[in-house]
Chains A and B, each alone.
Chain A
Amino acid sequence: MDIVVHEATDDTAVLECSGRLNMVSAGAFRETVAKVVEGGRSRLVVELSGVEFMDSSGLGALVGCLKTARQAGGDLRLAAPSEQVQMVLKLSNIDKILRTYPDGDAAVTNWA
């Protein structure tokens, strides 16, 4: 899995992910998010259009990173999930706690 971090504003970052978010990559994803939050950006948008596969390990990492972001006063949003990722989000009911936006631009504003 590849993660490209875009520093959108002083407190907001977009993490553009591609590949698979599974048992193999979940640890590296958590570490990347932890570094971004430590660096002062706790409003996170995880852009998922390039993620072809996500499983329960990936879901666990997203939930963990949501907590990390909230503990730092921010939040975590998802953007542009692929069809497979949408299936997993829906099956797991996780869409109740992780807000999903159609694209990164829509997700990056109006944090209130």
Chain B
Amino acid sequence: MTVATGEHVLDLACPPDDVTAVHTFLSSVWAHEPELSLEDRMALELALVELASNVIEHGAGGRPVSCSLRMDVGPDEVTVSLSDDGVPVLVDPSAAHLPDALAEGGRGLALVQMVVDDLRYERVDDRNRWVVRRGRR
């Protein structure tokens, strides 16, 4: 039996692209995946925009960063991998935690962790690779 799975791909070059391209991409994914619940869509949009924001903010040491996002919408879960040619990320995503209430930054990865079931980071060759997985609800 073949299970229908939707695969969606977005390639970014930042600049000039910014996270607006991620929002636009996700709007088209949702249009193709009408069965995905509002809760899942809100969680995934937050997670992916946070990760893309990190990529754009930390960049590639002064040169433009290119970033490729691949989203697989399966019947039971959604998996997204995000690969970029930016500088290595010196962070342990599993240790991300919310900062003090009055902090103005540092919440991104902690929020991602709260809305996905699995968040992984690895450096492969000269690229950063983030993989998130969320069971559909």
Contact = CB atoms under 8 A, between A and B. Distances in A.
Which of A20, A22, A67, A94 has most B Cβ within 10 Å? A22
B105 A56 contact: yes
Given A22-B49, A63-B102, A64-B104, A56 B111 contact: yes
B17 to A, nearest CB: 11
Given A23-B53, A24-B20, A67 B111 contact: no
A88 interface: yes
A67 B102 contact: yes
A91 B102 contact: no
Which of A56, A61, A88, A92 has most B Cβ within 10 Å? A56
Interface in A46-84: 53, 55-57, 59-61, 63-64, 66-67, 83-84
A88 B111 contact: yes
B58 interface: no
Given A55-B111, A87-B42, A60 B19 contact: no
B57 A23 contact: yes
B101 A53 contact: no
A67 B104 CA distance: 10
A88 B23 contact: no
A112 interface: no
Interface string B94-109: 0000100111111110
A35 interface: no
A83 B103 contact: no
B103 to A, nearest CB: 7
Given A56-B107, A84-B46, 6 more contacts: A22-B49, A56-B108, A57-B53, A63-B103, A88-B46, A91-B114
Smallest CB-CB A-B distances: 5 pairs = A56-B107, A60-B104, A56-B108, A23-B53, A97-B101
18 contacts: A22-B53, A24-B18, A55-B46, A55-B49, A55-B50, A56-B50, A56-B108, A57-B108, A59-B107, A60-B104, A60-B105, A60-B107, A63-B101, A63-B103, A87-B46, A88-B111, A92-B110, A92-B111
